[in-house]
Chain A
Amino acid sequence: MTATTARRAPGRLSLFRAYLPIAVTAAVLALPPLRYHESRTLMGVLVTGLVFACYAIAFNIIFGSTGQLFLCIGALAGVGGFASVILSDEVGIPMLVSMVLATALAALVGGLLSWIAVSRSLDVIFTGIVTLAFSLAFSSLLLGRRDLTGGESGLRVQAGADTFLGDRVPPYYAFLAVVVAYLVIYRVLQRSHIGWAFRALRDDEMAAELSGVDVRWYRVEAGVIGSAMLGFAGALYAHSEGFIGPSTYAFGRVDIRVIVMLAFGGIGSLLGPVVGAAVFTWLDEWLVSFIELRVLLYGAIIVVLFLGFRRGVVPTVHAAFRRLGSRRGGAGTSGSTTQARAP
């Protein structure tokens, strides 16, 4: 499930080919509200889907690019969400400023976790457990500091309710803009020297280190950028949702789903997070009608999907296209097919 080493580096793609997938995704994702704009429930589901896409893209930068298993996706989004709400509602700072501060705080926390993991050279599982411990500590802090967080009953969010975020359809487009922005950030990173470093350290850490790539620094950088993205998405979600509680950012609700989405869509691919979020949001909604059997079916589907799409949907589809292209075009047009396989 690691990024395929043979894939052509996105830095070599022409500008048009590099950003076309993002434009197409934006156009496709702009359509659903045209059909569902009348139902508040369905718009809520769609917004949640986009929020999860944001989380998954951010997690893809941390885990997909640099192999740090952050099991605190929800907690970092929660740091952003709760910090922004507390700063704007309790302290009285304007919403935009509080969101910026909350994003910075999430980036700081994520960067710190990343720095700990890197400086002790923890491997995948150990990073996972340390960040999981942070996740659980954060959730018991939420329950414990009742005076600030409202404990189990949560907080009603005042800031943002009177802006466009309180409406039915505009929040969807706001989050769509965030998804597109995150995808662009991912692509820009991939095409820059940072992307080269990420690929080098994913392919062979030792070799990357020996050829002068400061592996530790790039890991922390990915941790900071991804955590900032998580914090910002979490904060925006808090203000558009109008209510946050411990379950909004709970490990079981956010982290597990994001990992499943990303692994299903394809780790380390541009559109994998979006595809995974779309499929599992739809799946969740479809399973609601099975009420009692829902969790059971969800588990069974996860097992079946991962037995079938071990590398993720996006890389599998790319490989299929590549095979198709090379069979049809033969060796002569291999240039165009190698371009087509980069996501």
Chain B
Amino acid sequence: MKAAIFDGIVLGLQYGLLGVGLTLVFGLAGVLNLAHGQLAVLAAIIAALTIDAGSSAGVAALVGILCAAVIGLLLDRTLMQPVYRLRGESRVLLGLLLMLGVAFVIDGFLEWRYPIEALSLRIGGDPVPILGVNMRVGSLWASGIALAAGAALLFFFRGTTTGRAVRSVIQNEEGAQLCGINPAFVRGLIFALSGALAGLVAITRSMTSPVTVTEGITLTTLALIVAVVGGLGSVSGAFLAGILLGIVDRVSSFYIGTYITTIFLLAAAAITIVVRPAGLLAPRR
């Protein structure tokens, strides 16, 4: 049981890291980025190719993350411009459909050029006992990075002027503009940040299991569910939702196993949304 919970937390931190990139872009730009998982896979493949070219794993990881950030920024500066001119439901729909197109393009490109490429950054070493549970070194590294990223994000949004500017745009775009904040700059920043987070999750994920070309859609769906359960736009909510869903996943697969686990996970997500539509951490209505 304890092992299952620990595994759940490890998995959940990855879920949280996955969801947080998507939640930020939605909270800020009103765009549901259906290419988020594909962006992560793209970063993984770029990192794998860099390793193939002979560089060290650390450099390759940085290259992958940086490329994902640049692609995020490019998407914001080009394809998303017509979306920002719309409002309400049509904005959500156009953003979603364009990003779906981008997801197809990335998937199609990777399956065409690098069908068998995969990123696997196995970290060796004996399992480390924590509170009597043996944890793999790769899992610990992945969790540590996810925690550090979460803490850095929280510090950025609470402690720095730029971070506060971003939050002000999330809360009230026009009001922020009146205070001299440039929403276009903030959006570019968040798209790049979200891309970098997608790249980062690809790197941490590859520490426990290989990231393959076809994984994009699975990652996107997971990110979507985590982000919505945590409340769209909330960083700590995404991590909390990720950890909860991770624990549900591991514990139910430990006790019940088989396909019921997935159904449990999805039911947990659906029930959370139905009970608290505004997200886990939202104030009660």
A residues adjacent to B (C-beta < 8 A) = 1-2, 67, 116, 120-126, 129-130, 132-134, 136-137, 140-141, 143-145, 252, 256, 259-260, 263, 292-303, 306-307, 310
Cα A207 to Cα B103 in complex, Å, equals 38
- CB of B259 within 8 A of CB of A143, answer yes
**Chain A at the B interface: SS class:** helix
A130, A252, A295: the one contacting B273 at CB < 8 Å is: A130
Cα A1 to Cα B89 in complex, Å, equals 8
Cα A144 to Cα B258 in complex, Å, equals 7
Q: What residue in chain A is nearest B262 (Cβ atoms)?
A: A140
Contact with A along B83-99 (1 / 0, CB 8 A): 00000011011100110
Minimum C-beta distance from B231 to chain A (A): 10
Minimum C-beta distance from B86 to chain A (A): 8
Cα A125 to Cα B273 in complex, Å, equals 11
- CB of A260 within 8 A of CB of B274, answer no
Interface segment, one of B108-116, B144-152, B165-173, B197-205: B108-116
B residues adjacent to A (C-beta < 8 A) = 32, 79, 82, 89-90, 92-94, 97-98, 100-109, 111-112, 217, 221, 224-225, 228, 232, 258-260, 262-263, 266-267, 269-270, 273-274, 277
- CB of A300 within 8 A of CB of B105, answer yes
Chain B residues near A129: list those with CB within 8 A: 224-225, 228, 269-270, 273
Q: How many A-B residue pairs have CB under 8 A?
A: 121
A133-B270, A137-B267 as given contacts; A302 in contact with B100, CB under 8 Å: yes
B79, B94, B112, B232: the one contacting A292 at CB < 8 Å is: B112
A1-B93, A140-B259, A303-B102 as given contacts; A126 in contact with B112, CB under 8 Å: no
A137, A301, A303: the one contacting B79 at CB < 8 Å is: A303
Minimum C-beta distance from A288 to chain B (A): 14
* Most chain A beta carbons < 10 A, residue from B90, B93, B262: B93
- Show 5 residue pairs from A and B whose CB-CB distance is below 8 angstroms, ordered by the A residue: A129-B270, A137-B263, A297-B108, A298-B108, A299-B100
Cα A2 to Cα B94 in complex, Å, equals 11
- CB of B259 within 8 A of CB of A125, answer no
**Chain B at the A interface: SS class:** helix
Chain A residues near B258: list those with CB within 8 A: 144
Chain B residues near A306: list those with CB within 8 A: 94, 97-98, 101
Minimum C-beta distance from B115 to chain A (A): 9
A294-B108, A299-B102 as given contacts; A126 in contact with B94, CB under 8 Å: no
Cα A194 to Cα B274 in complex, Å, equals 27
- CB of A299 within 8 A of CB of B263, answer no
Minimum C-beta distance from B104 to chain A (A): 3
Q: What residue in chain B is nearest A123 (Cβ atoms)?
A: B277
Q: What residue in chain A is nearest B232 (Cβ atoms)?
A: A125
Chain B residues near A122: list those with CB within 8 A: 273-274, 277
A122-B274, A130-B274, A133-B267 as given contacts; A307 in contact with B108, CB under 8 Å: no
Cα A297 to Cα B260 in complex, Å, equals 37
